[in-house]
Amino acid sequence: MFANDKKHLIDNSIDGFHTESRSAWKKNGRNNFIKTLLTICIASCLGALGTWFALGYWDIQDQKTHTDLPSTVTAQPHVQQTGQTIKQAPQCSQTPASSRVDCWPQYVGANQQTCEEKGCCWLPAGTSTRRLGDVPYCFYPSNYQGYKVDSVTKTASGYQATLHLSGPSTWPNDVQNVNVDVTFQSPTTVRVKIYDPATQRYEVPIKTNATKTPGMTDYDVAISPQGTDFTITITRKSTGTVIFSNANSAPLVFADQFLQFGTQLSSAYLYGLGEHRAPFLISTNWSKRGFWSRDQPPTLDANLYGVHPFYLNVEDHKNTHGVFLVNSNAMEIEVSPQPALAYRTTGGILDFYIFTGPSPDSVIQQYTGLIGRPFMPPYWALGFHLCRWGYGGVDPLKAVIKRMRDAKMPYDTQWNDIDYMRDHLDWTYDADGKYKGLPDVVADLHNNGQHYIMIIDPGISNSQPAGSYPPYDDGLKKGIFIMNTDDSGPIIGKVWPGTTAFPDFFHPNATAYWTYHANSYHNIVPFDGIWIDMNEPSNFVQGSTSGCPKNDLENPPFVPPVILGQSLSDKTLCASAKQAISTHYNLHSLYGHSEAIATKMALDSIKQKRSIVISRSTYPTSGVHTGHWLGDNNAQWPDMYYSIPGIMNFNLFGIPLVGADICGFNGDTNPELCARWMQLGAFYPFMRNHNTIGAKDQDPASFDTTTQNIMRDALNLRYTLLPYLYTLFYISHVYGTPVVRPIFFSYPESENNVTYSVDTQFMWGDSLLITPTTSQNTLKGQGYLPKDRWYDWFNHSYIDSTGYLGDFDLPMEHINLQVRGGSIIPLQAPEVTTTLSRKNPFSLLATLTPGGASQGMLYWDDGESLDSITSSAYNLIYFRIVKHVLTSTVALPGYHGEAMTLGQVTVLGVEIAPTSVTINGQVKTTDYNYSNKALQIYNLSLDLLKPININWTV
Catalytically active residues are 533, 536
Give the integer Cα–Cα distance in Å for 531 and 627: 9
Phi, psi of 173 (to 5 degrees): 60, 60
What is the number of alpha carbons within 13 Å of residue 153 lying toward its C-beta? Answer: 10
Distance CA 776, CA 869 (A): 44
Q: How far apart are CA 523 and CA 664, in angstroms?
A: 33
Contact 145, 166 (CB under 8 A): yes
Alpha helices in 801-942 (DSSP H): 834-837
Residues 6+ apart with CB under 8 A from 240: none
Q: Which of 337, 314, 306 is nearest to 267 (CA)?
A: 314
Sheet holding 340-345, edge to edge: 253-254, 259-264, 340-345, 331-336, 287-291
| C-beta neighbour count of 954 within 10 angstroms | 11
Furthest C-alpha separation in the chain = 107
Q: How far is CA 257 from CA 299, 558, 943, in A?
A: 28, 7, 64
CB 544 within 8 A of CB 492: yes
Cα gap 648→760, rounded to integer Å:
11
Instruction: Quote the CA–CA distance of 322 and 853 in Å, as a whole number.
Output: 34
Report which of 550, 551, 591, 595 is spatially closest to residue 573, judged by C-alpha positions: 591
∠ CA(728), CA(730), CA(732), 5° rounding? 70
Of 707, 833, 699, the closest CA to residue 399 belongs to: 699
Which of 47, 619, 673 has its CA nearest to residue 293?
Answer: 619
Helix or strand run (H / E) with residue 181: strand 177-186
Distances (CA, A) of 28 to 18, 19, 41, 353, 748: 15, 14, 16, 58, 61
H and E: helices and strands count for the chain: 14, 50
Output the CA torsion sign for 382, 388, 393, 396: negative
